[in-house]
Amino acid sequence: LLVFAIVTGVFLLNSCTKKEPTDLTQNSFIPKPVSVEATGESFELTTATKVYYHEEVKELQQEAEYLAAELKRILGTAPAVSATSEVPRSGIYLYVTDEDDELGTEGYSLKVGKKLVSVKAHSAAGCFYGIQTLLQTLPAGIASEDSYEIATGEIRDFPDYGYRSAMLDVSRHFFGVEDVKRFIDFLSTYKMNRLHLHLSDDQGWRIEIKSWPKLTEIGSSTQVGGGEGGFYTQEQYSEIVRYAQEHHVTIVPEIDMPGHTNAALASYPELNCDGKAPELYTGIEVGFSSLCTDKEITYEFVDDVVREIAALTPGEWFHIGGDESHSTDKDDYIYFVNRVQEIVLSHGKKVIGWDEIANAELVDNAAVQFWANVENTTMGVEKGAKVLMSPAKKAYMDMQYDSTTHIGLHWAAYIEVDTGYDWNPATYVEGVTKENILGVEAPLWTETITNMEEIEYMVFPQLPGYAEIGWTAPELRNWDEYKIRLADFGSRFEAQDINFYRSDVVPWK
Ligand code: TNX
């Protein structure tokens, strides 16, 4: 009887402790890692688990603290963080090494043992990505238990492209610093590493330029639909840059020119060929405005703007726009883009612009951003430029999912979640192959998007797919398998209070 009681007791005890997954290969990750091997046991994460980082690499303290803060969200209390000179016997350990070449600058290896979880990378960024993957083995929400089992095994992972980006148009509608930070959280969770900010357009100028104060006094005072607009002070812009850096995201600022400039033209009459300032504009037409390309003051203006923004921007790229300059004469356009590229170089930045800039002579190391025009893009490649892939029919997050979507546009296409996922940047444009491609960017234009909830609705669940296209090699990706992983992320979106589109093509749980 005693034996029976003990056996039943043990059995009952076992069935009371939550049944935990022990097969790491069954876990859903986005982006999909290069390789996942399971060893069939489990690591127990508790409130007593400690986070260690190798003391020689000071930057890792930030990663360790980031991890501790994320674990606090799950466990209720933050684990202790400490530097160590040797491999700990238990806990979570972050370290940087120059061995294991395959990992490259942003890759990582995540080993989950029974007692020790270790994240190894060549850089703090690689460790950060290993941490993101580790977090995807844990529940998204607040703790309902005080411990969690993580399946043991090893994940080795590195990106297909080094430039994995999203764009936020803060010009058509203005979004404040807190919204931009939340957007950066979205990107970095899925291992994206660039945020392109579209800082100026016909409807609004969104960054303080000390040498041209009317840009914000006048040019930032409205937005599409006539709302009050807004702008970032230089301090606020720097705060965004800093927050992005902590999340291994580089800000790529865009000043769109010579077209899409009504807000600047309305602020300073001298930038107009006729010397007269137009009215501020709150509609959504494109292609009607142009800086005056044959006035010297135009280039003084551009020089001041690029200088001030470049000084606040640690990243290597400056985006000069260049799209849809329908009211600029073609020769004037080429002359302008040639001069502006030299200005950008003189302030120590590399030039990127929409695919139209390929009509100019491109400077060394320039990049063109493909959005619609194949001829421009292949001409850019012939002129030695790299390509950032943002095909409007596939990667524009402002395109509606279908004809019932209540916000967004559809001039390029309706983009259902499967359509947005199912393409390969390296075969999409004939004549543009992997070695020409810098990476992938998914832009969100905001003519019809007015607040964070609407941003979330257009961005989720598309953004994780674009992140995966940038990170995971095409031979490892297919929609039928991805949609099941994506469905598992529905509960994560909910836990983060994300207002996402519950597409019928995804088998949500
Ligand atoms: C085209 S894409 C534009 C933008 C609009 C967008 C709307 C590009 C380089 N120019 O000015 O906001 O369409 O989808």
Q: Average of pLDDT values for 210-236?
A: 98
Q: How far is the CA of 289 from the centre of ligand 1 (A)?
A: 14
- CA 355 – ligand 1 centroid, Å: 12
Alpha-carbon span 24 to 114, nearest angstrom: 13
Res 15 pLDDT > 80:
no
Encode pLDDT of 437-481 as tens digits.
999 999 999 999 999 999 999 999 999 999 999 999 999 999 999
Cβ–ligand 1 distance for 354 under 6 Å, the answer: yes
C-alpha to C-alpha distance for 399 and 391, rounded to whole angstroms: 11
List, for residues 164-205, the tens digit of each pLDDT value: 999 999 999 999 999 999 999 999 999 999 999 999 999 999
How many A from CA of 182 to the centre of ligand 1?
Answer: 23
Burial class (CB in 10 A: 0-12, 13-18, 19+), 270: middle
Separation of CA 408 and ligand 1 centre (Å)? 12
Q: Is 284 in the pocket of ligand 1 (CB under 6 A)?
A: no
The number of the ligand 1 atom at minimal distance from the alpha carbon of 411 is: 14
Query: Catalytic site residues?
Result: 324
Distance of CA 380 to the CA centre of its chain: 24
The domain segmentation of the chain, as residue ranges, is 20-157, 163-475
Non-local (6+) Cβ contacts of 367 within 8 A are: 317, 350, 351, 352, 353, 385, 386, 387, 388, 438
Q: Whose CA is nearest to atom 7 of ligand 1?
A: 445
Other C-beta atoms within 10 Å of 274: how many?
A: 8
Q: Name residue, tokens 């083995």.
A: 137
Encode pLDDT of 292-302 as tens digits.
Answer: 999 999 999 99
DSSP per residue, 457-489:
HHHTTHHHHHHHHHHS-GGG--HHHHHHHHHHT
Angle at 192 between CA 188 and CA 193, to 5 degrees: 95
Domain 20-157 has CATH 3.30.420.40: no
Q: Are 207 and 267 in contact (CB under 8 A)?
A: no
Can you read off the two tokens belonging to residue 355?
Answer: 């695919």
CA distance linking residue 322 with residue 256, whole number of Å:
6
What global pTM score does this model have? 0.95
More confident residue, 431 or 9: 431
Q: What mean pLDDT comes out for the span 18-37?
A: 88
The whole-angstrom separation of Cα 369 and Cα 378 is: 11
Helix axes 479-488, 462-471, angle to 10 degrees: 130
Q: Is the Cβ atom of 83 under 6 angstroms away from ligand 1?
A: no
- pLDDT, position 430: 94
151 beta partners:
42
Mutate to test the pocket of ligand 1, among 256, 324, 409, 447 (most ligand atoms within 8 A of CB): 324
Instruction: Give the number of the atom of ligand 1 that is nearest the alpha carbon of residue 445.
Output: 12
- Say what the ipTM of the complex is: 0.96
Q: How is domain 163-475 classified at the CATH fold level?
A: TIM Barrel (3.20.20)
Q: What is the mean pLDDT of the chain?
A: 95
Atom of ligand 1 nearest to the CA of 354: 9
Ligand 1 pocket check for 370: Cβ under 6 Å: no
202 lines ligand 1 (CB under 6 A): no
